[in-house]
Amino acid sequence: MDEFSFIQSIKQHSYKQSSLIKGVGDDAAIIRQSSEDVVVAVDTFVENVHFSKETTEPYHIGHRVLAANISDMAAMGATPAFYLVSIVLSKHYSSKEVEEIFEGMRSIANRYGMDLIGGDTVSGQEMSISVTVIGYVSQKRARYRSDAREKDIVFVTGTLGDSQAGFHILNNASTYQDETYYIEKHQQPIPRVEFAKRLEEIDRVALNDISDGIGNEAAEIAEASQVTLHLFEDKIPTSASYSQFPSELQEKWKLFGGEDFELVGTVSKDKWTYVQEAANDIGIPVTEIGYVSQYKNNYVYLHKDNRHIPLKKDGYNHLK
């Protein structure tokens, strides 16, 4: 398949977003601005860094790379609308496998009514996929890391460590409880867009998506807000069968594992009930895991065994 045939094969023939004037087919897409603010995010997945053929089917590669961007939209309180894909095609991926990558993206895009509106295709030694997502958020309702305040509650959605547990299962053959659940959490994460949108009526919420581990994401909120976040280790939620894994891995994964694509946030105490109701309405767990204080020598402290342990950024870092 040549480049032009490939573009035709992934091109949408109808579009869902009414604000789109021109999609794939010209040098650029055209979107007519609405009364909402535009939110833009980009993520890049590289073969043998973010995925490999040994542990990830092409369909799941597509799902995960787009899910990562959609999760960024959720952290901003935005609704994703469009995506563009720039892909470096390596020769050891067949045309069918590349089509499956795009099918994985299309599947999760359909969940949110998103349209593919462009991108770029080149050949190279290793597969690389960069996805740009464009979304909308109501004016003055974008969520910023800098909005945490002293005495806020720190909360998190879902359970943590599941994605890394799934990756561990894929790489360490054995018998596991809830094996399918953990693998699906790694291969097909579901970002928390609906939950974040339910918080739109709250004036102030700080949010961050958990892509590099809650230790890193909590520190980013604390740094941006110039406060200290206190996390209670025994309150950080994990799945019922999570205790089957080695204890040292359990702690590492839930604090620094990443790719759970849950949300960590802070909110004032008087709005906490609203956050709980929003989570309950859409059927996801939300857990109070700590509090915010004035800045105290370190941005994040982990409360464990009656000790306050400074929690360093120790999640994944490409330039580390």
pLDDT digits (tens, 9 = 90+) for 108-119: 999 999 999 999
Q: Which residues of 148-181 are buried (b: 16+ CB within 10 A; e: fewer)?
A: beeebbbbbbbbbbbbbbbbbbbeeeeebebeeb
Same fold across 3-137 and 145-310: no
The dotted CATH code for 3-137 is 3.30.1330.10
Q: Beta partners for 26?
A: 24
Sequence letter at residue 84: L
Sheet holding 79-89, edge to edge: 37-46, 128-137, 79-89, 115-123
Q: How far apart are CA 199 and CA 143, in angstroms?
A: 10
Report the pLDDT averaged over residues 266-275. Answer: 98
Q: What is the Cα–Cα distance from 99 to 10, expressed in whole angstroms? A: 7
The predicted model gives 25-46 an average pLDDT of: 85
Q: Which of 127, 160, 125 is nearest to 261 (CA)?
A: 160
DSSP character at residue 281: H
Domain boundaries, the chain: 3-137, 145-310
| Domain 145-310 in this protein, CATH class | alpha beta
pLDDT digits (tens, 9 = 90+) for 153-165: 999 999 999 999 9
**pLDDT score for 291:** 98
Model pTM? 0.90
What pLDDT digit, counting tens, does each position of 140-197 carry? 999 999 999 999 999 999 999 999 999 999 999 999 999 999 999 999 999 999 999 9
